[in-house]
Amino acid sequence: MAEQTFLEAIGIFQYFGLQYLLVPLLIFVMTLGILQKTKMISDKPDINAAIGFSFAFVIAMVPQFVDFLAFLMPLMIGFIMILFGIGMIFMLFGAKSDNFFNFFKSPGIIILTIVIFMIIVFYSISDVFGDQISSWTSDNRTTGGMGSGVERIFSPEVFGTVIFISVAAVGVYMISAQKS
């Protein structure tokens, strides 16, 4: 019982179908918060709430997109928690918080973070929409044991290679970039 992981705990929400309530609610809250903070459309909270509600309603009308967001959010939150954990470890050993946040503002780290976010998004797309994508890409002939195109693209070997090349590219950029 104590061996439940974070994703299994999230699975309880999916078992009861609560993601179809919680994901649009989260979209509403995020949209309202962004509109209130930026005052992009209006200064009035009721107009911003109406826009947020309509945006959340449109999202709720597409259950596949709700499933995609419900699969994507725990992975993104887990990645962000890992980043904060790394920051806490560095601060535990005496690093200043300003130095740590300035480190994450460097272009190489921003590129690496965006690449990791994109890998998480593509992994989520392949997991949620994999059956539909493989039906589009399959051509009913034998591929020599390689599987469908989606299985080849999202195989661990290819992902490992992409991550290795990304880390190497960021390392080369950080070594060769001129200090300003």
Give pLDDT tens digits for 86-136.
888 888 888 787 877 787 788 888 888 888 888 888 888 888 877 776 555
| pLDDT value of position 133 | 65
CA 93 to chain centre: 29
The model's pLDDT over 22-71, given as tens digits with 9 standing for 90+, comes to 888 988 999 999 999 998 888 888 999 999 999 899 988 888 888 888 88
Domain assignment present for residue 70? The answer is yes
* 66 and 9, same domain (yes or no): yes
Question: Are 117 and 64 members of one domain?
Answer: no
Boundary of a domain, candidates 21, 49, 84: 84
Number of domains into which the chain is organized = 2
Q: Which domain holds residue 37?
A: 1-84
* Residue 6 within a domain: yes
Answer yes or no: is 100 within a domain: no
Mean pLDDT of the chain: 78
| DSSP label at residue 43 | S
Q: 60 and 4 in one domain?
A: yes
Spell out the alpha helix ranges (H) of 63-148: 63-92, 97-103, 107-128, 130-137
In a domain, residue 14? The reply is yes
* Pair 41, 72 in one domain: yes
Q: The pTM is what?
A: 0.62
What's the CA gap between 150 and 42, in Å, rounded? 44
In a domain, 99, yes or no: no
Residue 127 within a domain: yes
Q: Are 14 and 56 in a shared domain?
A: yes
> Is residue 153 included in any domain, yes or no?
yes
Give yes or no: residues 67 and 8 share one domain: yes
User: Within this chain, do residues 135 and 167 fall inside the same structural domain, yes or no?
Assistant: yes
